[in-house]
């Protein structure tokens, strides 16, 4: 079905061939068609919902004129480039600020790099990427980041040739809400909430096991103090909006430091998102107890659980499979340092 979508410009419009900055009022519907055409085989429900929203906004007429300029509403689609040939939008790339802490430098993410199958191998993707990197440099960005499916060897080779480096491969896991909770483990280590004063222990654990040079905690989740240090204002805002953020830990023998932690973030909508960190010396010993405890605690939660975790962590991968998590995507995080 996706192959039959139209990527032509609006009726009556003459669009010169070649690359130009995106114009949402003219391009949004065709962008949605192209993104669906190129990414349908790997698109999840969130991706399909985003495409539906793009089409809905494109049909809003005057409303789109007001939304144009409000990049945070449109999820980064407002900045980027498109390529037209024969009056059809056949290439697209989206650029957005990654929202990294200021101390890490201005970082931009590149997404939705798509070229219509009939126009591939003509250098269009390379030209779109080169324009994107020039745009980010003009914005004084210090780095560009992107995710690419691990089996997309052609795209990975293109990005490497443009100066990107591969940081780490991550697997996106998902556990359906209907999966029964696990039975309680016998002889499991004690699992408890992380104390406020232990934030630095967890932060140091993250720095060792998820360094930013290897992708950090996952897509657009760099390791920085603000993710670990208790902040009253942030905690209050989360509570008022119905968000819950819990950090469960297993401590090392003798209580000297954290052997493993499992963070669970829940909101009124969406999935229960997890981040699992394990001290290498305790690999294979604390992953299962943490997952077992938290999944039993989430027994009445009707939302799925999701996790983005390094593919090279065999012990955690085995534990996740035992507990009903399914592999959804295997993605390579890539980075280009621009200064």
**How confident is the model over 47-79, as pLDDT tens digits?**
888 888 888 888 876 665 555 544 444 556 679
**How confident is the model over 132-175, as pLDDT tens digits?**
999 999 999 999 999 999 999 999 999 999 999 999 999 999 99
Task: Show the tokens assigned to 208.
Answer: 């060792």
Q: What is the pLDDT of residue 5?
A: 43
Count of helices and strands (H, E) across the chain: 9, 12
Cα–Cα–Cα angle for 73, 49, 262, nearest 5°?
Answer: 85
Q: What is the pTM of this model?
A: 0.89
100, 64 Cβ separation under 8 angstroms: no
C-alpha distances in Å from residue 278, one per residue of 40, 44, 302, 325: 35, 29, 27, 18
Task: Show the tokens assigned to 276.
Answer: 């699992």
Residue 325 phi, psi dihedral angles, 5° rounding: -80, 145
Average pLDDT of the residues in 31-46 = 89
CATH, range 172-337: 3.40.630.30
305, 165 Cβ separation under 8 angstroms: no
At the topology level, CATH places domain 2-141 in Aminopeptidase (3.40.630)
Q: What is the pLDDT of residue 4?
A: 39
- The β-bridge partners of 145 are 109, 335
Domain with CATH 3.40.630.30 in the chain: 2-141, 172-337
**How confident is the model over 257-305, as pLDDT tens digits?**
999 999 999 877 778 999 999 999 999 999 999 999 999 998 877 789 9
């Amino acid at each position: 079905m996706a192959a039959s979508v139209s990527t032509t410009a609006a009726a009556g419009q003459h669009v010169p061939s070649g690359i130009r900055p995106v114009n949402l009022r003219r391009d949004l519907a065709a962008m949605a068609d192209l993104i669906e055409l190129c990414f349908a085989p790997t698109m999840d429900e969130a991706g399909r919902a985003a495409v539906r929203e793009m089409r809905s906004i494109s049909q809003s007429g005057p409303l789109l004129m007001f939304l144009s300029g409000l990049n945070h509403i449109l999820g980064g689609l407002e900045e980027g480039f498109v390529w037209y040939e024969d009056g059809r939008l056949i290439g697209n790339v989206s650029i957005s600020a990654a929202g990294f802490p200021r101390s890490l430098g201005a970082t931009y993410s590149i997404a939705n790099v798509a070229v219509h199958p009939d126009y591939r191998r003509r250098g269009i993707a390379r030209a779109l990427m080169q324009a994107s990197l020039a745009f980010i440099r003009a914005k004084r960005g210090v780095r560009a980041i992107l995710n690419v499916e691990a089996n997309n060897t052609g795209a990975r080779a293109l990005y490497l040739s443009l100066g990107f480096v591969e940081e780490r491969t991550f697997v996106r896991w998902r556990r359906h809400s209907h999966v029964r909770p696990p039975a309680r483990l016998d002889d499991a280590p004690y699992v408890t909430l992380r104390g406020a004063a232990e934030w630095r222990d967890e932060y140091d654990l993250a720095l060792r096991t998820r360094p930013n040079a290897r992708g950090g905690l996952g897509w657009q989740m760099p390791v920085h103090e603000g993710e670990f240090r208790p902040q009253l204002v942030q905690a209050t805002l989360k509570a008022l909006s119905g968000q819950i953020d819990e950090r469960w830990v297993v401590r090392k023998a003798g209580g000297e430091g954290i052997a493993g932690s499992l963070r669970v973030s829940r909101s009124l909508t969406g999935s229960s998102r997890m981040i699992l960190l394990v001290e290498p010396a305790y690999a294979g010993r604390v992953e299962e107890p943490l997952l077992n405890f938290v999944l039993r605690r989430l027994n009445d939660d009707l939302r799925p659980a999701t996790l983005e975790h390094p593919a090279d962590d065999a012990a955690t991968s085995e534990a996740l499979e035992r507990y009903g998590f399914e592999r959804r995507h295997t993605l390579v995080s890539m980075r280009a340092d621009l200064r």
